[in-house]
Amino acid sequence: MAGSTLKIENLHVEIDGSEIIKGLDLEINGGEIHAIMGPNGTGKSTLASAIMGHPRYDITKGSVYLDGKDVLEMEVDERAHAGMFLAMQYPSEISGVTNSDFMRSAINANREEGDEISLMKFIRKMDNKMDELEIDQSFAQRYLNEGFSGGEKKRNEILQLLMLEPRLAILDEIDSGLDIDALKVVSKGINSVKGPEFGCLIITHYQRLLNYITPDKVHVMMQGRVVKSGGAELAERLENEGYDWIKAELGIEDEKVGEEA
């Protein structure tokens, strides 16, 4: 099966009555890797959560389609079942649920009843993927993310990605907090699932991750919209020159943090 095509049109999202996403368009064709960059507070994480169906976010206008299916009509678990996955910027800690139990439930939730993964298969797969990501086996029996360091949480998000094998993943600042070696390990993990069956939206602030994972397209998000799109060279220009030239090009005024646009 080919990777999923995600098509977002004129999306508007509100949080507690204030509009954060203001008419966003984005299309990711099956198997493509796209990156979104943009200043703090422009709505990148809001976009990710809204697509995944976080109840806090009100979608007031627009559409999100996955392979022609209306995502906004789907329940949260149906979105996962349809092959969508989000690696969160701030992964939650869940006390009392081991990493291993969590992963197994997540895999089985995406499979039909009676077709659950066997314990043996699951353990073998988890062992392999943990080795691949250089995660110590002891992490399987620790409570989900509890007491994990920042970088360990990020690595664990990629472990979930490798275990769940989604067809469309959104990775929100997966590179933040990773040390230099961990960045390579995590990139290697993502590259290992790259291919026609896997589409990916990478939210990042820095070009360095894109040195390892070459994006097909790079988008700049500002004030709740995609304001510019280009190839991998766009990320390099942003790294060198920042966002001022785009603001000047588009006539966007500087905002203070927390100010309504």
Ligand X SMILES: Nc1ncnc2c1ncn2[C@@H]1O[C@H](COP(=O)(O)OP(=O)(O)OP(=O)(O)O)[C@@H](O)[C@H]1O
Footprint of Mg ion on this chain (CB under 5 A)? 44-45, 89
| Binding segment (CB under 6 A) for ligand X, from list 12-20, 116-124, 149-157, 208-216 | 12-20
Whether 46 contacts 21, CB under 8 Å = yes
Question: How many whole angstroms separate alpha carbon 39 and alpha carbon 44?
Answer: 9
CA–CA distances in Å: residue 113 to residues 52, 107, 116, 160: 23, 12, 7, 21
Shortest Å, Cβ 178 to ligand X: 16
| Chain-centroid distance, C-alpha 184 | 18
Instruction: Verify binding: residue 53, ligand X, rule CB under 6 A.
Output: no
Closest CA to 154 of 122, 199, 184, 109: 184
Shortest Å, Cβ 227 to ligand X: 13
Question: How many whole angstroms separate alpha carbon 40 and alpha carbon 261?
Answer: 13
Q: Which two tokens stand for residue 152?
A: 């360990």
| Binding segment (CB under 6 A) for ligand X, from list 39-47, 136-144, 153-161, 177-185 | 39-47
Shortest Å, Cβ 104 to Mg ion: 29
Instruction: Verify binding: residue 44, ligand X, rule CB under 6 A.
Output: yes
* Site map 71..100 versus ligand X, x via CB under 6 A: ------------------x-----------
20 contact choice in Mg ion, ligand X, none (CB below 5 to 8 Å, kind-dependent): ligand X
Shortest Å, Cβ 40 to ligand X: 3
Question: How many whole angstroms separate alpha carbon 14 and alpha carbon 137?
Answer: 41
Question: How many whole angstroms separate alpha carbon 53 and alpha carbon 71?
Answer: 9
Which residue in the set 30, 41, 62, 230 belongs to the binding site for ligand X (CB under 6 A)? 41
Whether 65 contacts 7, CB under 8 Å = yes
| Chain-centroid distance, C-alpha 248 | 29
* Site map 115..134 versus ligand X, x via CB under 6 A: --------------------
Shortest Å, Cβ 46 to Mg ion: 8
Binding site for ligand X (CB under 6 A): 15-16, 20, 38, 40-46, 56, 89
